């Protein structure tokens, strides 16, 4: 069954979806695409391929807005970020090409498996992040949280090789499933380079904006079917959501929010999977 919206209600639905994408990215540096694709398929009845293309564009745009907010704070670690972005962008077209050999239902199943895995991980790990995003009580504390200490970044040959591998996986998944890859990027930066969470989120947004832009360009060149009207409203909503997410990240813990997002991701993904299964059955 397809959902239909009146002409007057549609812009608000689009703004809501865009705001949710931006809010998630602003708070966690990941997860925007994992929510965007199911929402676009279920609420707007878009084909999976078009939902992936629009998702890449909106995620790239909202991540770029986030980069602008974080740039002045000095919280972006440029060396590992550039390595990640270059390798990930180079392999994004490979993911798109792989997707041409898979059926929409199979891609949906792969996306669903990935989403459920990430949702379970978010739920189980949410208590570990209960102190990560909190209010800063003074300018000195703000500077301490954001500033990158180059001497403490564990940039070694093994860590660089690991980041290249993670970037390659991110690029392929971005082209294949329309995901920004923040769920790989943020853990990789925190574990391999010992970054603080807010630094990893800021750096992740740079990588996501570049990798998703390359993925969208690839989609646009090879499958030039996209609803620019939908995309413009989604981008406007994502800009608002990103600003709100970055603002809220200074004041709240993400533990409960991660659990809520995990539940939403699972519900929307199963609805999307059921819908595609029914369409293929008939």
What pLDDT, on the 0 to 100 scale, is given for residue 132? Answer: 44
Indicate if the pLDDT at residue 247 is higher than 80: yes
- DSSP letter string, 226-281: --HHHHHHHHHHHHHHHHHHHHHTTT--SHHHHHHHHHHHHHHHHHHHHHHHHHHH
- Please state, in angstroms and rounded to a whole number, the distance separating the CA atoms of residues 114 and 52: 15
Q: What percent of the chain has pLDDT over 70?
A: 76
* Domain residue ranges of the chain, discontinuous segments joined by +: 10-281
Q: Is the pLDDT of residue 240 over 90?
A: yes
Task: Give tens-digit pLDDT for 130-188.
Answer: 544 444 434 444 444 444 444 445 567 777 788 888 888 888 887 787 666 777 787 77
pLDDT at site 154: 55
**Model pLDDT, residue 135:** 42
Map residue 153 onto helix, strand or coil: coil
Instruction: Give me the pLDDT at residue 43, please.
Output: 83
Number of other CB atoms surrounding residue 145 within 10 Å: 18
Measured CA to CA in angstroms, residue 14 lies from 8, 53, 187, 219 at distances of 11, 15, 30, 21
Query: pLDDT tens across 218-232, in order?
Result: 888 877 667 788 899
Instruction: Please give the Cα distance from 123 to 137 (Å, whole number).
Output: 29
User: Which tens digits make up the pLDDT trace of 55-111?
Assistant: 889 989 999 998 988 887 777 888 888 888 899 888 888 888 888 888 877 877 887
Record the tokens describing residue 55, joined without a space: 């998702």
């Amino acid at each position: 069954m397809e959902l239909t919206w009146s002409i007057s209600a549609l812009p608000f639905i689009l703004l809501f979806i865009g705001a949710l994408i931006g809010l998630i990215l602003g708070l966690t540096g990941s997860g925007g695409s994992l929510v965007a694709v199911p929402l676009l398929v279920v609420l707007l009845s878009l084909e999976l391929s078009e939902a992936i293309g629009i998702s890449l564009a909106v995620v790239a745009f909202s991540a770029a807005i986030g980069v602008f907010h974080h740039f002045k704070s000095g919280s972006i670690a440029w060396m590992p970020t550039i390595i990640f972005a270059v390798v990930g962008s180079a392999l994004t077209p490979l993911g798109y090409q792989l997707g041409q050999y898979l059926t929409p239902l199979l891609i949906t199943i792969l996306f669903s498996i990935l989403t459920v895995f990430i949702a379970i991980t978010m739920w189980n790990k949410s208590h570990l992040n209960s102190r990560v995003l909190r209010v800063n009580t003074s300018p000195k504390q703000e500077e301490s949280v954001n500033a990158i200490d180059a001497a403490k970044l564990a940039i070694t040959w093994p860590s660089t090789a690991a980041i290249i591998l993670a970037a390659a996986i991110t690029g392929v998944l971005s082209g294949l499933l329309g995901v920004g890859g923040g769920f790989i990027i943020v853990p990789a930066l925190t574990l391999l380079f010992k970054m603080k969470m807010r630094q990893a989120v800021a750096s992740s947004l740079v990588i996501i904006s570049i990798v998703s832009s390359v993925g969208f360009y690839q989609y646009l060149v090879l499958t030039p079917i996209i609803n620019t009207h939908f995309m413009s409203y989604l981008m406007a909503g994502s800009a608002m959501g990103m600003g709100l997410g970055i603002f809220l990240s200074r004041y709240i813990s993400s533990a409960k929010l991660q659990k809520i997002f995990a539940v939403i991701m699972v519900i929307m993904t199963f609805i999307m999977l059921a819908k595609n299964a029914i369409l293929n059955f008939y």
